[in-house]
Amino acid sequence: MTTTNDLVETLGFQSPCTRVSTSVQTNDKPHVGGRHLSAESEYEYGSRAGGWRLLRLFKEFGWHWTTYAVAQAMQMNPTFAKACVREGHEIAAHGLRWLDIWDFGVEREKEYIKQNVVILKGLTGKMPLGAFYGRGSPNTRGLLPLVWEEMDGEMRWCSEAFNDDLPYWVDAPHEKGLRDAEKKGLLIVPYAYDTNDAKFHMSSGFTGFDYEDYLKSTFDMLYREGGKMMNVPMHSRILGKPARAEALRRFMQYVAEKEGVWVATRGEIAEHFRKEFPYKPGHLC
- Please name each of the domains of the chain with its CATH number: 2-276 (3.20.20.370)
Give which of 184, 118, 179 is closest to 146, Cα–Cα.
184
Query: Considering only 17-26, 33-42, 200-209, which range has the smallest mean pLDDT?
Result: 17-26
Mean predicted lDDT score pLDDT of the chain: 89
Region 78-99: what's the mean pLDDT?
94
Res 30: pLDDT: 64
Is the pLDDT reported for residue 13 higher than 60? no
pTM of this structure: 0.89
Q: Percent of the chain beyond pLDDT 70?
A: 89
Res 60: pLDDT: 97
Task: Name the band, by pLDDT with cuts 50, 70 and 90, for residue 39.
Answer: confident
Res 9: pLDDT: 41
Task: Name the band, by pLDDT with cuts 50, 70 and 90, for residue 285.
Answer: low
Is the pLDDT reported for residue 5 higher than 50? no
Q: How many CB atoms are located within 10 Å of the residue 103 CB? A: 8
Q: What span, in angstroms and rounded, lies between the C-alpha atoms of 36 and 27?
A: 13
**Contact 232/247 with Cβ under 8 angstroms?**
no
User: What is the secondary structure of 251-285 as a DSSP string?
Assistant: HHHHHHTSTT-EEE-HHHHHHHHHHHS---TT---
Is the pLDDT reported for residue 118 higher than 70? yes
Is the pLDDT reported for residue 21 higher than 60? no
Task: Name the band, by pLDDT with cuts 50, 70 and 90, for residue 15.
Answer: very low
